[in-house]
Amino acid sequence: MINAYILLVLAVVVWKGYYVWKRGTKTYRRDRQEHDSLREYLLGNGATRFESLRPFLSHALVRAFKPLRAQWRLWLILVVLGLLVMLFSSAVAPQTTSKSQQPNLTDVRVKQETTYLRRYAYRCWYSESLRIPLAVSWYLTGDHVSGSFKRKGVSFHADYDVKGLAVTTQDYMQSGYDRGHMCPSGDNKWHQLAQEQSFLMTNICPQNHNLNTNDWNELEQRCRSWAKKYGRIYIVCGPVLRGDKHKTIGRQRNRRITVPEAFYKVVLRAGKDTTAIGFLYENTGERQSMRQAVRTVDEIERLTGIDFFYQLPASVERRIERSANLDKW
């Protein structure tokens, strides 16, 4: 509506401007023809060319704009209409004063040096030295949990947007670890490009097969049920690295990939009852119940050094990150 009003005002200005120009040039030409002797008189008395034309220009401007003053009702109508448009637009516009309603809730602060990769459906902070993502974030809606673009026929593939040597699917061969999705394929069935990019190796970590197919998969499915229940949730997940030395995979020394000791996932639902919860799963083959894996977001931040959901108001962030209750979900 505001755009339509702006176009209307521009149309009126152009319309009136055309007649001002036309009336002004007509007056100027007529005055030059009828009173050219005045110009010659001024030039003869030492006036510059511009000074000799000033009386004609002044008269032309006065004549050109004089009718506009008489049309004050038109300008008043435009002003009143503009105020009504502004009032109506503010009344019907969605309320965005709360930071919890902004999509940048998927942003995180990572202390380590990373390469930031923006994908169609997720964001990734990739460690070139460890050759795994440290954080992958996305939002999941009820509409995103289903679709016709399934993983069948989609292969893992290298991401050549990295600065260093790109990880390939062959680097995982005979390693004893799965190519574990951080942003899962099941969350990307809603769009072909989203599905294909979920198989980029920068979205993958070495993950124990039993964890990948059981407990981690169960958590992914639970997140989808929450997306259906609440309409939209925000998710960040990635590896947990303890100490300075880590196991690696890969046959070639310059292609070694770090194996995480554990994996984290934090989930946020924003709105009237803004709530967050964290999870920590050891990268082992033993079964781990979801309830036992629950952690506060504060605990996950201490383990990873990553600041989650910092775009929320400080008081809300402190409240939701210091407690976690699976029963509230």
Strands ordered across the beta sheet of 115-118 = 115-118, 123-127, 132-141, 232-240, 262-269, 275-282, 294-295
* Percent of residues, the chain, with pLDDT higher than 90: 62
Positive or negative CA dihedral for 245, 246, 251, 257? Answer: negative
Which pLDDT does position 77 carry in this prediction? 80
Run of H or E residues at 166:
none
Which pLDDT does position 89 carry in this prediction? 63
Which pLDDT does position 67 carry in this prediction? 72
Q: What are phi and psi of 265, to 5 degrees?
A: -150, 130
Q: 228 with 269: CB under 8 angstroms?
A: no
CA 61: distance to chain centroid?
50
* Entry pTM: 0.69
Q: 146 with 219: CB under 8 angstroms?
A: no
Closest CA to 143 of 197, 105, 181, 188: 188
277/235 Cα distance (integer angstroms): 10
Reported as a single tens digit per residue, the pLDDT across 147-192 is: 889 888 899 999 999 999 999 999 999 999 999 999 999 999 999 9
Q: What are phi and psi of 304, to 5 degrees?
A: -105, -25
Mean of per-residue pLDDT scores for the chain: 87
Task: Retrieve residue 33's tokens.
Answer: 């023809």
Which pLDDT does position 284 carry in this prediction? 97
Which pLDDT does position 301 carry in this prediction? 97
* Other beta carbons within 10 Å of 300: 25
Beta bridge partners, 239, equal 263
Buried b (16+ CB within 10 A) or exposed e, 254-275: ebbbbbbbbbbbbbbbbeeebb
| Burial of 66 (C-beta count, 10 Å sphere; 0-12/13-18/19+) | exposed
Q: What angle do CA 326, 327, 329 make, to 5 degrees?
A: 70
